[in-house]
Structure 1
Amino acid sequence: MNLMKKRMWISLLVVGVLLLTACGGGGASAPAAPTESDIPDEEMGEIVPSITLLSSLPEANMVNYEMAEEIAEELRLLGVDAVAQPMDFAVLLDVLYGEDSDFDAYTIGWSGRVERLDPDMFIHSINHSDNAEPGGNNTNRYRNPAFDALADAQRQEMDIDARREIVFEAQEILGQDVPQVTLYSRANMQTYNKELFADVINIPGEGLFNEWTPFSIRPLTDKTVLTVASNVNIDDINPLSSKSVYGWRNLRLIYDKLVRLSPEIEPVPWAAVGWDVVADDVIDVELRQGMTFHDGEPVTVEDVKFSYELFINENVEYFASFLTPIDTIEIMDENTVRFNLKYAYAPFITNTLAQIPILPMHIWEDIENPVQYPNMEAIGSGPFKMERFQTGEELVVSRFDDYFEQPIIDGYIFQIFASPEGVLTALELGTVDIVSYDLVPAHTEQISNNEGGKYDHLELTEAQDIGFFYLGMNLDRAPFNNKAFRIAVAHVTDYDLALDVHLNGYGARGGGGLVIVEANEFWHNPDALIYDTYDPERAREILAEAGFTWDSEGRLRMPVE
C-alpha cells in the first residue's frame, strides 16, 4: 500500500481499537500505542530530541522520499517528534559532506559501480572511523575499534579466501551495531531506442550509460550523437569536489584513468599499458605513450604523480579511503610511476588505479584553491572533450579524435530533466535515445505493457545492482547514538512496502546493518544478523528493555543516565 493508504489504515485501526475498548470487545489487537509509565515525568530521562529526516525531492527519487515520510510517521507513532524534509539532491550532498554536518538522519543511496563489487568501499570507506569526519564517506559517524581492525585487516589480506572470512566477520559486527538501515536495492530497469541503436549493454550497478557504452553501442542510422536522459542535475564537474554518481558518469568519459574495469569486472590497462607488482606494497605502472590532453599537451608520468598527490594533499575525502594506503609516489623513468604503499592493499589495482582521474598538471598546478575551482572547461585526456555545460540543462561532449581507442559514437548530449515524467514523454517522442538512471516502477510498467504501441521503439532492460538505498543516522547525536534506538528504527522500517509497493518488486529487500547485498554473492554473508522484519510492537519492547519510557503525554524519553 502507498503511504497515504497506510496512514488511513493506521487511523482506522486506532479508531477501531478505541471502539472495541469502549464496548469491551475482544479479537485481534492492533499495534499498541506508546505505553505511559508509572514513573513521574520529572523522574524520567530527557525527551527524545526532535528528528528531521532529509531526503531527495520526489522528482529525483520517489522511493527515498516516500520511505523518509513513512519512517517519520512510524517514529511519531513511537512518541518521537519527527518530520521528513525533502531537498534538492545537490543540497542534500552539501549537508551530508559539509563542514557543519548539521543533520539527524537521511535517505540516500550508494550506486553499485563495478569497482564496488570489491567489498572495500562498503566495508572500509563508508564505515571506518577514519572516514567519519566531515567530508568523509562515513556520514553515519559510525565508530567501532573492533570493526575498524577488521576493516583494516581485510584490505591488507592478499589471500582471497582469508579476506572473505574477515569481510564476513565485519558484516556480523555491522549487523549487530546497525549504523544504518538499508531500505532496498533497486533493479537496473532501463531503456533505450532500439530503432536507432544496438549492442547497448546494461551492466549491473552501472546501467546502460556506462564507460563502455561509447565503445560498444552501434548506431543503426546516421544518428551518431547519443542523447542521454537524466532526471538528476549535475552541478559540479570538478573531479576533486564531485561526490555524485551522476557527475562521475560524465567525468570518467572526459578524464582518463590508469585502469578501467571491464563489463566482466576485470581490470583492463587503459591510460596504463600494464603494471608490475614488484612486492605486495610496491607497484610499478607503465604509462601509455603518445596520449595528449584535449588542449594538445602531452600526458606524462609527471601528470600521473601530480594527480594522485593532489587528491591526497587536498584530502579529497570521497576517495580518501583508496588513497590512504599510498606512502610515496616515484617517477622511475619517462614511462613508469612507482607507488610505494604503507602496507599491502588487496584492491589497489581495481579501486585506486581504476578511480583516480589524470589531471593536466599544467592547468591545475597554478590553481590556488583546486577544490573550489569551477572547472568549466574540464580539460582531460579521456575519449570525449567537453563542448559546453549548463547546470540544470545539459552537458555536451564530442569525440576526442586523438584518443588511442576511438569511441563508435561522435559524441553525446547529457540532457537534464526536471522529472521522470518529462523523460518518459521524451522517450515516447523519440527526442532522447537512452536513460542514465533506473526507471520509476510505473514507467517500467507502462513501457512493458506498451499500450497502443507507443513504446514499440523502446527496448526494456534489467540488471541486478549491488548498490543500495538506506536510512543514514548521525551517530554523533541522540537518539541515534543509542544502539537500541537504531535497532528499534530497523523494526519500524517497512521493507516490504519499499519493495512490493514503491518498487513494484523490481529490486531486493533491505535490513538493518546490511551493506553487502545478496547480489554481491561472493562477499555477502548470509548468516550475519540483519534486522529485516517490520515489527513496531517489537520496536517498543526493544526501547522499553533499553530503559526508554513514555511520559504522560506519550512522548518517548531517553534512558536515565
Structure 2
Amino acid sequence: MKPKFFTRRDFLKAAGVTMAAGVVIGLPGCAPALEATEAAIKVPTKVPTEAPAAVTHGKKLEAFQAMTTTASGDPRRFEISRMTCDAWKALGIPAEQWPVASTVMVEQAWDDKKYQVYFIHHDPNPDRMEPDTWLYKYYYSGNAGPTGSNISGYSNPEYDALAVAQREETDVTKRKELVDQCQAWLYDAQPYHITTNLHLAGVYNKTTFGDPTIFVGNPVYNFWSIKTFKPLTDQKVLRIGLARDFDSINPMAASNPEDIQFLSLIYDMVGRVDPEGKPVPWIAKSIDAISASEYEVTVREGLTWHDGVPLTAEDVAFTFNYAKANSAVYFASGLAILDKAEVVAPDKVKFTLTSPFVPFISNVLCAVFILPKHIWENISNPLEIPNEQPIGSGPWKFDYMRTMEESKLVRNPDHFEPALAEGVLHVVYGSVDGMLGALEAGDIDTVGEILTIAQVDQLQGLPHIQIEKVTEFGMEAFYCNTRLEPFNDKVFRNALALSQPTPDIIKVVLRGAGDPGGSIIAPSLKFWHNNNLPAFPYDPEKAKQSLLDAGYTWDEEGNMYYPTPENDKRVIDTGLV
C-alpha cells in the first residue's frame, strides 16, 4: 500500500471541522489543556513489542539528530531537548541530542537546511505580532528554498492557498477566519511543535537606570526600552550583558533576531512597531495606502546619515529595490511581494506590489533597514561583506566591536528621537549564568536575553534589581525538516509532538513558568489566536499506537523500521508542490 497523500478536505473531514462560506470553525473533540501536575504526567512505556508472531520489517529507521544549543549557550533549551530525546528513545524512536554552537545552528537550519530536528526559541520580535510572519513567512512553500525562512520545508499547495488568501484579504473579519484556518491546519500537520509559551522576565539595575518603556510580550531588551532607559547616576552608558556575541552586523546578511535587534539601534526604518504593537511612521512623515497593492511614503525633512550625508527619498527607494534584487536574508520573504519602489516627488516614494499584501506596512516598511545609497550602490556582493563600520541614521552610531568581547554604540544627538543614554555597551559573557552573575555584581545594567522566571530566581530580593514579567508571544519549539524521511510523514511528526514530556518540562525545567503550547499564534496575541485550538496533549501511548497503525515496526533489539510497501499507512502531506 502506498502512503496516503493528505489533502485539506481529508483534514477537515477527519477533524470534524464545520465549514460555512469556506470558513473553518474550531476543532471539536480535541483534548483539553494539560495542567503541569504529577497527575497529568505519563511515564512513557518501554519500546513496543511485536504483536504478530511473524512481522516483516521495512527499511531500518536510523537514529536522527536533534540539534540544540550547548548547555552553556542556553541551559533551558539544552535541558528541554535532552528530556525530549530521552522520552522519544524510551518510546523506541531513535533520537540523539546534538548540542552545537549557535553559529552551527544558524548554518544548519537557516542557511543549508540540512538539519533533521531543530530545537529553537522564537523571540517575541515586533514582526511576529503580525500573523503573516508565522503563517506565510515560515510555512509557505515558496520560502523553503536556500535563502528562505521556511526552515521546515513544509510544502503543501492547499495550505499555500490559505496562507496567500489571508495576506491578501483586506476585510479584517474575513482575514481572521482565514488566519484561524491556517492555525488549525498547522496544528494538525505539526511541521513544528510548540512546547511552551514562556512566562518571561526582563531584569535591570534600577539604581543605575530607570523607567524603560516595556514592549508588549518582550520585557526590557527591545528597541523602545533601550532608547528610553534613563541614567540615574554618573554612569551614562547603558551596559548590556550577552550570553553570546553577534553573528553579523551586515543588515543585508544578518539572519537571526539577535543581530536584527542590534542593527535596529543603528539603522532606521520607514516605520516602527510601537510599544503597544501598532505600526507607526518613523523616518516617514506619513504612510498612505493608495490600495492593497500600492503605498505612498512621505519622508521627513532634515534627516542625515551618521557620516553627515543627507538621507532622502532616493535612499529609501534604493534600499527596497537593492534589498530585493540581492535577496536580503532576513527580509527576503517580505520583499518578494514588491514590484518596485520609485521616487515620485523629492520627499515621496511609491511602492507597487505584485499583488495585494495587507501586512506590507507592519512586516516590510516597519522592518527593512534603510541603507545609505552613496555607500551601498557601489557594493556588488552585499551578502558577503562584513560591514565592519556600519553607517546608519538611527538613534545610535557605531563606535567599535571587539569580537567575543564587547561592542559600543554612542548616542546620535541629531536624531529626531534621540536616546537618553549616552551610549550602549554590549558585553559578551559566554553564558547565561555569567551574564546574570555580572548583573548581580553590578558590572552591567541589564541583559540582552529574554529570560524565564526560573532563570532570574537568583536575583529575586536583591535590592538593586527590578524584574518585569510578561507571557511571551514567542515560544520554545522544535522543527522537523519535512524535506527528509521520516519527517515528511504527518503521523511521525505528530508522534514526536504527542510524546514530548511537556508537563515534566514545565514543572522541572521552567519551574512552572510556562504554558503548554498549542497554536502557532500564541494566546497572548488575543485577537489573532485561534481559541478553538487547545494546548497540544501529552499522550505517549497514543503516539506509540499511531506509529504502529501507520505500519512502523520494531525488532526484538528495539530497532525501529519504516512500514513495508504493503502495510504503509503513513500520511505524506508535504513535498507536494
TM score, norm. by length of structure 1: 0.90
**Partner amino acid for 1:363?**
I
Cα deviation for residue 235 of structure 1 reads: 2.1
1:483 is aligned to 2:490 = yes
Pairs within 5 Å for 1:159-174: 159-174=171-186
Once residues 447 and 235 of structure 2 are traced to their aligned partners in structure 1, the CA distance between those partners, rounded to angstroms, is 17
Identify if the C-alpha distance between structure 1 residues 315 and 215 changes in structure 2 by more than 3 Å, giving closer, same or farther: closer
How far apart, CA to CA, are the structure 2 residues paired with 1:459 and 1:74?
Answer: 37
Could you tell me how far apart the structure 1 residues matched to 2:46 and 2:247 are? 46
Structure 2 Cα separation of the partners of residues 460 and 269 of structure 1: 31
The alignment-based identity, stated in percent, is: 33
* Contact 1:78 1:556 (8 Å CA) reproduced: no
Q: Per the alignment, do residues 440 and 221 of structure 1 end up closer, same or farther by CA in structure 2, a change over 3 Å counting? A: same
Give CA deviations for 1:276-318 in whole Å, capped at 9, x if unaligned.
2222211110111111111111112221111111221112342
**Secondary structure of the corresponding residue to residue 370 of structure 1:** coil
The answer as to whether partners of 2:200 and 2:452 remain within 8 angstroms in 1 is: no
Change (3 A) 1:352 1:365: same
Within 5 Å, which residues of 2 pair with 1:183-222?
A: 183-222=195-234
Q: Does structure 1 residue 555 correspond to structure 2 residue 569? A: no
Instruction: Show the 5 A alignment for 1:282-321.
Output: 282-321=294-333
Q: Which amino acid aligns with 1:180?
A: Y
**Are residues 77 and 406 of structure 1, via their aligned partners in 2, closer, same or farther at CA, if it must alter by over 3 Å?**
same
Post-superposition offset of 1:501: 1.6
SS in structure 2 at match of 1:517: coil
2:108 to 95, 101, 104: 95
Q: Report the CA distance between 1:214 and its aligned residue.
A: 4.1
- Cα distance in 2 for partners of 1:527, 1:283 equals 35
Q: Which residue of 1 aligns with 2:384?
A: 372
1:270 correspondence with 2:282: yes
- Alpha-carbon distance, 1:534 to partner: 2.0
Residue 21 of structure 2 corresponds to: none
Cα distance between partner residues in 1 of 2:449 and 2:46: 41
SS of equivalent to 2:49: coil
Q: Does 1:518 align with 2:523?
A: yes
Is 1:242 aligned with 2:242? Answer: no
Aligned to 1:65: 78
CA shift at 1:497, angstroms? 2.0
Alpha carbons of structure 1 residues 276 and 202: separation in structure 2 relative to 1, 3 Å:
closer
Matched-pair contact (CA < 8 Å) for 2:199–2:452: no
- Tell me how far 1:217 sits from its aligned partner: 2.0
Q: Deviations over 1:415-434 (max 9, x none)?
A: 11111221222112211001
The aligned residue for residue 17 of structure 1 is none
Q: C-alpha separation between the residues in 1 aligned to 2:485 and 2:455?
A: 40
SS in 1 for 2:65: strand
Matched, 1:462 2:469: yes
Which position in structure 2 is the counterpart of 1:256? 268
Per the alignment, do residues 183 and 254 of structure 1 end up closer, same or farther by CA in structure 2, a change over 3 Å counting? same
The question of 1:539 aligning with 2:546 is answered no
Query: Which of 394, 400, 408 is the aligned partner of 1:396?
Result: 408
Asked if 2 retains the 8 angstrom alpha-carbon contact of 1:172 and 1:529, the reply is: no
User: Take 2:399 and 2:301, find their aligned partners in 1: how far apart are those partners?
Assistant: 26
Query: Following TM superposition, by how much is the alpha carbon of 1:40 offset from its aligned partner in structure 2, in angstroms?
Result: 4.7
1:426-463 CA deviation, whole Å, 9 max, x = no partner? 11221100112133544422222x3xxxx211111112
Task: Check the 8 A contact 1:135/1:317 in 2, yes or no.
Answer: yes
Given that 1:255 and 1:382 are in contact with CA atoms closer than 8 Å, whether structure 2 keeps it comes out as yes
Q: CA–CA distance in 2 between the matches of 1:548 and 1:137?
A: 31
CA contact (8 A) 2:452 2:513 kept: no
Computed over aligned residues only, the root mean square deviation of the Cα atoms, in angstroms, reads: 1.9
Worse-superposed segment, 380-389 or 68-77: 68-77
SS in structure 1 opposite 2:316?
helix
Task: Please tell me whether the aligned partners of residues 271 and 366 of structure 2 are also in contact (alpha carbons under 8 angstroms).
Answer: yes
- The amino acid across from 1:75 in the alignment is W
Q: Supply the distance in 2 between the matched residues of 1:208 and 1:301 (Cα, whole angstroms).
A: 33
State the SS of the aligned residue for 1:171. helix
Q: Is the 8 A contact 1:234 1:247 kept in 2?
A: yes
Paired position in structure 2 for 1:38? 52
- Whole-angstrom distance in 2 between the partners of 1:405 and 1:395: 22
- For residues 482-540 of structure 1, the C-alpha deviation after alignment (integer angstroms, 9 at most, x for no partner) is 111111111110111222221112222124xx31111111111121376x222222111
Q: What is the CA-CA distance between 1:554 and the residue it aligns to?
A: 2.0
Does the residue aligned with 1:554 lie in a helix, a strand or coil? coil
Partners of 2:509 and 2:189 in 1: CA distance: 27
Partners of 2:180 and 2:328 in 1: how far apart?
29
- Per the TM alignment, residue 181 of structure 1 is displaced from its structure 2 partner at its CA by 0.9
Q: 1:420 to 1:215 in 2, by over 3 A?
A: closer
Structure 1 stretch displaced more, 369-378 or 400-409: 400-409
Counterpart code for 1:76: K
Query: Per-residue displacement from partner, 1:255-285 (whole Å, max 9, x unpaired)?
Result: 0101011111222211111122222211110
Separation in 2, partners of 1:550, 1:39: 13
- Corresponding residue of 2:422: 410
Find out whether 1:385 has 2:397 as its counterpart.
Answer: yes
More displaced stretch, 196-205 vs 288-297: 196-205
- Among 53, 56, 79, which residue is 2:69 paired with? 56
The Cα of 1:234 is off from its aligned counterpart by: 0.6
Q: Distance in 1 between matches of 2:523 and 2:226?
A: 30
Aligned residue among 78, 83, 90 for 1:77? 90
- Local SS of the residue matching 1:276: strand
After superposition, give the CA deviation of every residue in 1:136-182 in whole Å (9 maximum; x if it has no partner): 11111111111111110111111111100000011111111111111
Which residue does 2:126 correspond to in 1?
114
Q: Which runs of 5+ in 1 are unaligned?
A: 1-5, 14-29
Q: Residue 434 of structure 1 is aligned with which of 446, 469, 472? A: 446
Which one-letter code corresponds to 1:235 in the other structure? D
Which residue number corresponds to residue 31 of structure 2?
none
- Alignment check: 8 A CA contact 1:202 1:462 kept: no
Within 2, Cα distance between the matches of 1:396 and 1:374?
A: 17
Whole-angstrom CA distance in 2 between matches of 1:360 and 1:49: 51
Q: How many residues align?
A: 526
Measured in 2, the distance between the counterparts of 1:282 and 1:53 equals: 44
| Residue identity opposite 2:177 in structure 1 | E
Give how far 1:329 is off. Answer: 1.4
Q: 1:506 maps to what in 2?
A: 513
User: What residue number does 1:86 align with?
Assistant: 99
AA at the equivalent of 2:232: L
| 8 Å Cα contact 1:111/1:205 also seen in 2 | no
CA–CA separation in structure 1 for the residues paired with 2:138 and 2:360: 17
Q: Which runs of 5+ in 2 are unaligned?
A: 1-37, 566-577
Instruction: Give the match's secondary structure for 2:563.
Output: coil
Per mean C-alpha deviation after superposition, the further-off stretch among 239-248 and 314-323 is: 314-323
Match for 2:533 among 507, 528, 539?
A: 528
**Counterpart Cα distance in 2 of 1:67 and 1:192:** 26
What is the rounded CA distance, in whole Å, between the counterparts of 2:162 and 2:414 in structure 1? 45
